[in-house]
Structure 1
Amino acid sequence: MSDSNKFLRGTMILSLSQFLSKFLGMIYVFPFVAMVGQQGMALYQYGYQPYTILLSLATLGVPMAVSKFVSKYNALGDYRTGQRLFKSGLIIMTITGFFAFMLLFFLAPAIAGLIIQNPDELNGNALTDVVFTIRMVSVALLLIPAMSVFRGYFQGYQSMGPTAVSQVVEQIIRIGFILTMTFAILNIFNGERATAIGFATFGAFIGGLGALAVLLYFWKKRKHVMQAEIEQSATDHDIPLKSMYKELVLYALPLSFVGLAIPLFQMIDLFTFNNALIATEEFSQGEAETAYGVFSGSAHKLILIPVAIATAMSVTLIPTITNSFTSGDKPLLQRQITQTYQVILFLAIPAAAGLMVLSYPTFAILFGLGDLELGGTILRYYAPAAIMFSLFSVTAAILQGINRQKYAVLSLIAGLIVKMASAYGFLYIMGPIGGSFSTMAGYSAALVINIWAIGRFAEFDYGKIKKRALLIVGLSLGMAASVIVVKEGAMTLFPLDSWMNAFFVELFSVITGVGFYFILSVKTGLAGIVLGDRFSILKKRKT
């Protein structure tokens, strides 16, 4: 197999595994919330959000940075330098993981106090439960950083299989443990909800053990081949460890920071949401936590579905942008950026519009009728953020492709400043939907910078994209209008007072919306332009 085919095959395998892993990470929420409720989901998020920041730092930046470093020196015939990085990296990341674990474990009481400043244990989660949850999930930090070095080392040899398989296995074991332990503690042992959620977060460690077992299996299987290449190294640059890690960090930090966009925004909500709502004196702690569970857990997972689909379909276009920019092929670069924007907008805008219009039946089907009014309202106002999440991830990737990743970092910092400045005030004034508006305000600020930077440094002309965006918005509004008519009509026959009625309303509405958008996008020629004329059915037919 040629190097190019090997690279493309590996990229496809890794992209598929990441999408599958993210998809599994979304769908388990539905049965989990059915068992623990929205307030239980809030408690789960209290533990998982601080952990996610550290987890993302370990799993986003390190594998890519190690992969680039190892690949670079392997190409120069120096396999020993990559091996030195691998060995020292395992030691350093294990130590780093241990200190991260200690930090999160012992700071758990302080973090819990910031999340809930005025606890009311009669109708809310107790501070001791929050501390327990944070400490249970912190144990996973003992494993994940070292695993990231393993994954990066394999990827440096253009071997994506170990990373792909370990990611999927990790997610399957984690989700299986979460659902099994939660059900057993609540329904078999008649335990407390807080105990069940604490053990659910411990699933991150159990999943990590499964992933580590997979990586060790591949290491044992391929070690002799790698060792033979090391012994036959044509050269040894003998780079000092200090210089080695400087090169590694300079590459990893921008990637890690941009990859932390959503977790960092959620971290701000973690420390403002409950406190702002309770300060209005219109929400008890329990009510504020239920709203937070809906916002940060249930609704957030739903809007990530169109984000994952849109990003997965456009991500194959991103690596080619680097080649076009490097080779100076400006016309090709223009076409690639245009196509990337078009795919994202074509998928994300109607998906967000659909979620807004169908927020109530969608929430009822997936999370039940118990918190329908609250859940439907939050989902309706949060759905447009799906467009911004999708655009930010893609524009940041484009900036990386044209070697302007520092602007993606600067845009994220600007977005976080806007989010921090507006989060508490929006929540205090608007109630639970304020979290959605502060998030969209922050992402809007970040996107303005990203879009400007792409226009400036890639010399990209946005004229065509503006026309396409207006057409997509117009078609989406038409689709939304047709869905509203069908939904309101269906609700006269099937009021949202049972799961089955919500299902019928959703079914009729989704068929109408998808059919309407598909027909209009084909008739206008938009589908063929965006998705490609290789799909003959999408071509606009001449009359």
Structure 2
Amino acid sequence: MKNNFGNVMKGAIILSGASFIAKILSAMYRIPFENMVGNLGFYVYQQVYPIYAIGMTFSLSGFPVFISKIIAEQDDIESKYQISKRIFDVLVVLAILCFLFLQLGSTQIAEAMGDIKLEVIIRSVSWMFLLMPFLSVGRGFYQGIFNMTPTAVSQVYEQLIRVIVIIGVAWYAVRHHWSIYKMGAWAMFGSTLGGLVALLCFVGIFIRLFSRKSHKHSIKYRDLVKRLMTEGIMICLFTALMVLLQLIDSFTIKNNLEIYGLSSIKASNIKGIYDRAQPLIQLGLVIGVSFSSTLLPSLTAAIEKKEKTTFENTASSILRISLGIASAATVGLLALLPEVNKLLFGDSELSLVIGIYLLGIILMTVINSYSSILQSIDEYRALLIGLGVAFLTKYILNSYLIGKFGIIGASIATTASLLLAAITIILFSSIKLEILFRSDGYVLKLLLISCIMGIVVKGLSILLGYLLGSSRLDVGIISLICIPVGVFIFGILAIKFNLFTKEEYMAMPGGNKIIKIIDKLNGGC
């Protein structure tokens, strides 16, 4: 059990580190990008961004997780290669269909978003879907044999190239007075270039994959397509749940803001400010998503070997670690939100709206972790119901609340849809939260620690604001002081209240140092 647990946690740490770097890049490029192209330029880019993000999520963590689960089920390396080859064939067909849908339907999609000029950007992003089979199979194969390094490296390369292209395009577009739509199309094409570079990490596996000729029995294409359309699509949809809710925003916010009484330009500007929440929520979700994406192969192996204790302990520890870190990140962001908003984007507009949206970090962490656990035991009913509840709630509330209360309605709709989805999944699943959280008062401890940290950080930020001022430089200094203070307070209180077990601390980066601190604190008591 210890070896298996150690392998999955090491994999989670590798992916968490790579995801953190990638999310930092993904968040940081938006700062100069938004400042260069303005709220309207940001709106144009973010309207189509969910389409890119769906494709990226499918090829980064959706299909790879599904593929890794199938790979983990195979008994020998030859079977792993054969099943990978067949999955690749199926995904090629799916990728071509997605490409053609976006190319041929770009005009209709743009019209539904309320801006016909977006069609050129939609066509631009369609090319990256052709890379999905290569990236999905490459990442899924390595994750299925518990080797997370290729996925981690490819993820960093993909984001690095993409960010360089986007910033370069924004700079050139502003310098040469391009339209925001032409700028958006070329910036979005950076995702395809990033994917091509990431593909270099998997050249070796595809050479071996296509050079092998074996008649070994493998899953039939019909059965594989059936599993892909059920398990695979379900994993992808839940992995991309937040992005899919953002896609609903792309189709509903601008149109409903106009119903609320705003002009087309004003509605686009407000949507651009509202979209500032997306890079912030990405950063908050990085740990939870990374741990969840490495969870399925380990849990599948435990189920295959009928190791119930291993399954429950692994699932419990990953959920507790992910939720703990996600809660700390959420409360810290909320306490510093006006300052962070102004620091990153030049003003603190819509901070309340963004704050409500960021509550989704905690809810998405619970959903991602819980859904991974259920997928490992092939339990999809609760997930399907929860998914339907999330989409239906988001669409209905967006249509009603935005037209009645303005842009804050979109944030309320997102948080409410995630909350109802989480409750639905827990109620309809066979595994209850109390089993995963054990009987050590974890939730109450986490709530108390988070509240104390949030109050201290908020109080300190207010005090520093009186002493320093409210310029962009001032709020930058305040953030640089308050963030490490918040991390320190959460860490010390987590140790004092025994929020995590020693084994869970050891799974975190710097686990040995944390254990030494715990021993010193216990020795001093």
Q: If the TM-score is normalised by the length of the shorter chain, which range does it land in? A: 0.7 to 0.9
**Residues 1:340 and 1:47: Cα distance change in structure 2 (over 3 Å):** same
Q: Which runs of 5+ in 2 are unaligned?
A: none
Matched, 1:47 2:48: yes
**Residues 1:305 and 1:83: Cα distance change in structure 2 (over 3 Å):** closer
SS in 2 for 1:526: coil
More displaced, 307-316 or 131-140?
A: 307-316
Residue aligning to 2:233: 253
Q: Deviations over 1:301-326 (max 9, x none)?
A: 11221221344467666654445555
RMSD: 3.5
**Residues 1:340 and 1:66: Cα distance change in structure 2 (over 3 Å):** closer
Taking structure 2 as the reference length, the TM-score comes to 0.85
Partner residue of 2:96 out of 88, 95, 98? 98
| Deviation, structure 1 residue 502 | 1.0
What amino acid sits opposite 2:323 in the alignment?
Answer: L
**Residues 1:242 and 1:525: Cα distance change in structure 2 (over 3 Å):** closer
**Residues 1:77 and 1:342: Cα distance change in structure 2 (over 3 Å):** closer
Residue aligning to 2:259: 279
Partner residue of 2:359 out of 368, 380, 384? 384
Matched, 1:398 2:358: no
| Deviation, structure 1 residue 362 | 0.6
Written as runs of structure 1 = structure 2, the 5 A alignment for 1:239-250 is: 240-250=220-230
- Mapped partners of 2:400, 2:134: distance in 1: 40
What amino acid sits opposite 2:272 in the alignment?
Answer: G
Whose relative contact order is higher, 1 or 2, with alpha carbons under 8 Å and at least 6 apart?
2
- Mapped partners of 1:78, 1:279: distance in 2: 57
More displaced, 253-262 or 5-14?
A: 5-14
Written as runs of structure 1 = structure 2, the 5 A alignment for 1:142-541 is: 142-152=130-140, 162-187=150-175, 189-216=176-203, 219-220=206-207, 222=208, 227=211, 230=212, 236-237=216-217, 240-281=220-261, 283-296=262-275, 298-312=276-290, 319-325=297-303, 327=305, 330=308, 333-369=311-347, 372-374=348-350, 376-453=351-428, 456-457=430-431, 460-461=434-435, 464=438, 467-496=441-470, 498-526=471-499, 531=505, 535-538=515-518, 541=522
- Mapped partners of 2:292, 2:245: distance in 1: 24
**Residues 1:520 and 1:6: Cα distance change in structure 2 (over 3 Å):** closer
Residue aligning to 1:121: none
- Mapped partners of 1:157, 1:396: distance in 2: 21
| Deviation, structure 1 residue 50 | 3.0
- Mapped partners of 2:294, 2:379: distance in 1: 19
**Contact 1:54–1:100 (8 Å) recurs in 2:** no
- Mapped partners of 2:66, 2:460: distance in 1: 51
What amino acid sits opposite 2:487 in the alignment?
Answer: V
**Contact 1:402–1:458 (8 Å) recurs in 2:** no
**Residues 1:185 and 1:346: Cα distance change in structure 2 (over 3 Å):** same
Q: Deviations over 1:92-135 (max 9, x none)?
A: 5444433322321232222222222xxxxxxxxxx353122222
What amino acid sits opposite 1:467 in the alignment?
Answer: G
SS in 2 for 1:373: coil
**Residues 1:537 and 1:408: Cα distance change in structure 2 (over 3 Å):** same
| Deviation, structure 1 residue 171 | 1.9
- Mapped partners of 1:6, 1:527: distance in 2: 16
| Deviation, structure 1 residue 449 | 2.5
- Mapped partners of 1:409, 1:70: distance in 2: 24
**Residues 1:477 and 1:202: Cα distance change in structure 2 (over 3 Å):** same
More displaced, 31-40 or 460-469?
A: 460-469
Residue aligning to 1:35: 36
Residue aligning to 1:124: none
Partner residue of 2:108 out of 107, 110, 113? 110
Q: Percent identity?
A: 25
**Contact 1:357–1:380 (8 Å) recurs in 2:** no
Q: Which runs of 5+ in 1 are unaligned?
A: 117-126
- Mapped partners of 1:136, 1:306: distance in 2: 29
- Mapped partners of 1:42, 1:397: distance in 2: 33
**Contact 1:46–1:133 (8 Å) recurs in 2:** no
- Mapped partners of 2:315, 2:85: distance in 1: 38
SS in 2 for 1:352: helix
Q: Deviations over 1:62-117 (max 9, x none)?
A: 4444455566556285578447626xx44x5444433322321232222222222x
- Mapped partners of 1:495, 1:396: distance in 2: 45
Taking structure 1 as the reference length, the TM-score comes to 0.82
What amino acid sits opposite 1:50 in the alignment?
Answer: I
- Mapped partners of 1:392, 1:315: distance in 2: 12
What amino acid sits opposite 1:373 in the alignment?
Answer: E
Residue aligning to 1:132: 120
- Mapped partners of 1:38, 1:366: distance in 2: 13
- Mapped partners of 1:517, 1:5: distance in 2: 25
What amino acid sits opposite 2:422 in the alignment?
Answer: L
